[in-house]
Amino acid sequence: MKKRYLAPLVLTALFFAACGGGDKKAEQETTKTTQENNAVDNSMVSPGADKPASKGEQLMAQSDCKTCHKEEIKVIGPALKDIAGKYPNTPENVDKLADKIIKGGSGNWGEVAMLPHPNVSKEDAKEMVQYILSIGK
Ligand code: HEC
């Protein structure tokens, strides 16, 4: 006698359990998807931000150098990587090239002259030369 009442009860319990459980799972999946999307968004915020530029590179970016010099190709002035290829990184060369940045001049690469940069300090000019001579090495 007892088993006859038990069967529908168990079925009802199973029915509710199935529905409740199902809803919960769907909810969890929605949350998971949202979190995954957020993770992708975060990675797009600042790619390469962990790679700081050297001091010389920053100084050159703030000055007018990039108008005439590009890393890979000759523009008005020689390509920075060609300058790096021509001069070994010795204290004499760094000193000489730093003076050239400040005073300007022509003759080493052709007839076109580099404008003088009287506002650039010798120290900053040396930082720029260090950066240039480090390109491609
Ligand atoms: C108006 C264009 C111009 C600008 C601006 C310019 N340069 Fe130049 N640069 C040249 C030219 C042209 C030469 C080649 C000079 C030569 O033949 O001796 C040159 C040559 C150089 C050289 C090699 C010098 C040598 O004797 O071999 C260095 C180093 C250099 N530039 C660095 C810089 C830096 C750093 C800046 C920014 C502060 C700068 N240049 C801004 C045009 C420019």
The domain ranges of the chain are 1-51, 55-134
Give the predicted TM-score (pTM) of the model. Answer: 0.72
Q: What is the model's pLDDT at position 113?
A: 97
- For residues 98 and 122, is the Cβ–Cβ distance under 8 A? yes
* Ligand 1 centroid from CA 9, angstroms: 90
* Ligand 1 centroid from CA 35, angstroms: 51
pLDDT reading at 136 higher than 90? no
CA dihedral 57, 60, 66, 67 (to 10 degrees): 180
- Whole-angstrom distance, CA of residue 19 vs CA of residue 37: 28
Q: What is the model's pLDDT at position 4?
A: 61
In CATH, what number does 55-134 get?
Answer: 1.10.760.10
Mutate to test the pocket of ligand 1, among 55, 57, 68, 86 (most ligand atoms within 8 A of CB): 68
Token duo for residue 9: 């009860």
- Ligand 1 pocket check for 101: Cβ under 6 Å: yes
- Whole-angstrom distance, CA of residue 81 vs CA of residue 133: 8
Q: What is the model's pLDDT at position 9?
A: 54
* Ligand 1 centroid from CA 114, angstroms: 5
Q: What is the model's pLDDT at position 52?
A: 80
* Mean predicted confidence (pLDDT) in 1-24: 54
